[in-house]
Structure 1
Amino acid sequence: MSGVPSRVVVVTGASSGIGRETALAAADRGDHVAVVGRNPERTRSVASQAGGEAYVADFDRLDDVRMLAEQLLARYERIDVLVNNAGGLVSEWELTADGHERTLQSNVLAPFLLTRLLRPRLEATSALPGVAPGTVRVLATASMANQWGRLQLDDLEWAERPYRRGWPVYGTAKLAVVMWVRELAERLTGTGVDAYSVHPGMVATSFGGTSRLVRLGNTVLAGHWGRSARSGAEPLIAFSSTLPMDAPSGTYFSRFRPFGRTAPQASDPALRHALFELLVELTG
C-alpha cells in the first residue's frame, strides 16, 4: 500500500527483548516493520524508534490474534517475513480467556493461528515480481528446552501431569513449535515460502519473570546469566533479512547452527501431522 517500502517484516513480542532488537535492526536495514506487542506504550515506543507501525495484541486472547491478522492484511499488500517471537513461561497452571493453558496458547496456539491467517499473503508475496527466491519466510522462536519436552496429544493442556513451575510445559511447547514449523514447511513446498524455528541462546531478558529459578539465577549472577538481547536477536535479525539460508525449509537452528538437537518426537512425521491437525482444530 502507499507509503510502505518494498519489504514488510512482522515481528511479534517486539515491545522488548530480542523482538525489539530484531524490529530495530530490520528497520535499520531499510525494511518496514510491523511491531506487535502486548504492552501499548512499549509497543508504540519501539514502533516509533523503528519508523514502523504498532499493533497491540494480547496472545492470551485468540480473538486478539484474529483482529491482528485482519489489521495486517488490511494494511499491507505484501508480507515478506513473519517473525513469531511472542511467548514465555508461567510458573502456575492457568487458563486463558479461550480456555487453554497459558504457556501452550502464547507459545504455540497464537503464533500458529497468526501464521495460518497470514499464509495466503506470504504466498502471494513470494510470487511478486522482483522477490528473490527463498526470501519470504516464517520464523518461530524455539528453544533448546525442546529437548526435555514430552508431547502428549491427549493432554496438550497439561491438566493431567505435574506442572513443576511450568518448565516441562515450556519445553513441550517449544518442542511443539519445532514440530509444527517442520510440518508447515512440508505443506509450503512449491509456494516459495520457507519456515524455520530458531533457538536464540540463553538470553538475559524479562523472560520467565514469574519463575523462581530464573529470579534466583538473576540474583546469584547479578543479572549476567545470559547473553544480551541484541546478541540473542542476531539469528532472527539475520534470518529475517534476504541473506540465503544454509539449510532446507523446516530446519531447527540452534542460533546459527542448523539441525540443532531436538527431542526424539520431533522426528516422528506421523506425530507432527497429528499435532498440526490438532492445532488447526484448537484454533478454529
Structure 2
Amino acid sequence: MATVLITGASDGLGRALAEDLAAAGHRLLLHGRNPERLAQVAAATGGEVFIADFASLAEVRRLAADVAARHSRLDVLVNNAGVGFEVGSTSRETSADGHELRLAVNHLAPALLTEELLPLLRRSAPARIVNVASVGQQLFDFDDPQHERDFSQADAYCRSKLAMISHTAHLAARLAGTGVTVNALHPATFMATTMTKASGVDAQEPLEKGVAATRRLVDHPDLAAVTGAYFHSEEPSSPSDPLALDDAYTDRLAALTRRLIDASAV
C-alpha cells in the first residue's frame, strides 16, 4: 500500500483517480480548493483532506509543510491540479502573486510543491512523481514569460503544459540515482470533465482512459525504473517540439522558474 498525494482531487481526473486508487487499497492524501467537494471525495475514498489554492504560492508552500508535518513518507506525488481554458478567450487573469494564471497554477505551483516535498520523497524512495500534462503544447517564450503579448487562454495553457514536460526531463536528470522517478503524460484527449465542458469543446475520450494511463505511472511495477519520460496516454511519446527536451532549454526554463517562484516569496 502506497501513500499517494493527488492534487486537484476534488473533481475530474483527480477524483476518478482517487476512487480507483482507493479501491486498490492505497492511502490517499487529497488536495483541492473546494472544501465541500473534497469532503465528498474523502468520504468515498477514506482519504485525508488538504485545502490549498494553487493560485497562491504561499498556499502551495503551506500545503507541502502540512503534508511533511503529518506524514513520515510519501510514495507518489501526482501533480494533477490545473486551470484549463475557454476556446477563443483572450481574457488574461493573474494569480495572487501577479503571475499569469495558467503559468502559476499549471507550472509554477507543481514545480514548487515538488521541490518542497523532495526531501520527503527522497526519504521514501523508491518514490514516483507523476506530472499530468497535455498534448496541447507550445514552447515557452522567454522574452514574454508572463504572456503579456497576443494573449489567448489556449496558448497560455499549452505553454504551461509543455513547460511541465520540460521540467519533468530536467528534474529526472537531477534525481538520477536517488530512487525517485518523475514522468509526465497526456492522459486522454478532452475527457468528460468539468474542465472540458468549461472549455466549450465536446468530450472526445472517456475519463476512464485517462485514469488508466495515469494509474500506470502511479503503481505499475514495469514502470518502477522509468524516469524522464513523456507518455501519450499509455504509449511512450515525444513532446510537440524536440527543443523542449534540449538541455540548454530545460536549464534556462528551470532557472526562470526558480526566479519567478523566489520572487513570490519576497
Question: For 1:173, which of 156, 160, 172 is the aligned residue?
Answer: 160
- Alpha-carbon distance in 2 for matches of 1:254, 1:105: 24
- Alpha-carbon distance in 1 for matches of 2:57, 2:250: 22
1:262 to 2:240 alignment: yes
After TM superposition, the structure 1 = structure 2 runs for residues 220-259 of structure 1, keeping only pairs within 5 Å, are 225-245=203-223, 248-259=226-237
Question: Segments of 4+ in structure 1 off by > 4 A?
Answer: none
- Alpha-carbon distance in 1 for matches of 2:196, 2:47: 28
1:102 to 2:101 alignment: yes
Whether the 8 Å CA contact 2:169–2:245 is kept in 1: the answer is: no
Q: CA deviation at 1:244?
A: 2.1
Q: CA deviation at 1:82?
A: 0.2
Cα RMSD of the aligned pairs, angstroms, is 1.6
* Structure 1 runs not aligned, ≥5 long: 1-5, 127-134, 219-224
Question: For 1:23, which of 13, 18, 22 is the aligned residue?
Answer: 18
Q: CA deviation at 1:209?
A: 5.1
- Alpha-carbon distance in 2 for matches of 1:263, 1:254: 14
- Alpha-carbon distance in 2 for matches of 1:25, 1:156: 37
Question: For 2:173, which of 162, 176, 186 is the aligned residue?
Answer: 186
- Alpha-carbon distance in 1 for matches of 2:24, 2:60: 27
Whether the 8 Å CA contact 2:181–2:225 is kept in 1: the answer is: no
Whether the 8 Å CA contact 2:6–2:80 is kept in 1: the answer is: yes
- Alpha-carbon distance in 1 for matches of 2:197, 2:257: 27
- Which stretch of the first structure deviates more once superposed, 241-250 or 75-84? 241-250
- Alpha-carbon distance in 2 for matches of 1:29, 1:195: 22
Report the equivalent of 1:60: 55
Report the equivalent of 1:272: 250
Report the equivalent of 2:143: 154
TM-score of the superposed pair, with normalisation by structure 1:
0.86
Post-superposition CA distance 1:222-255 (Å, at most 9, x none): xxx3223232211111211142218841111001
- Alpha-carbon distance in 2 for matches of 1:266, 1:44: 38
Whether the 8 Å CA contact 2:165–2:239 is kept in 1: the answer is: no
Report the equivalent of 1:3: none
Share of identical aligned residues, percent?
37
Aligned length: 257
TM-score of the superposed pair, with normalisation by structure 2:
0.92
Whether the 8 Å CA contact 2:139–2:244 is kept in 1: the answer is: no
Whether the 8 Å CA contact 1:103–1:169 is kept in 2: the answer is: yes
SS at match of 2:9: coil
- Alpha-carbon distance in 2 for matches of 1:106, 1:232: 20
SS at match of 1:207: helix
Amino acid at match of 1:140: N
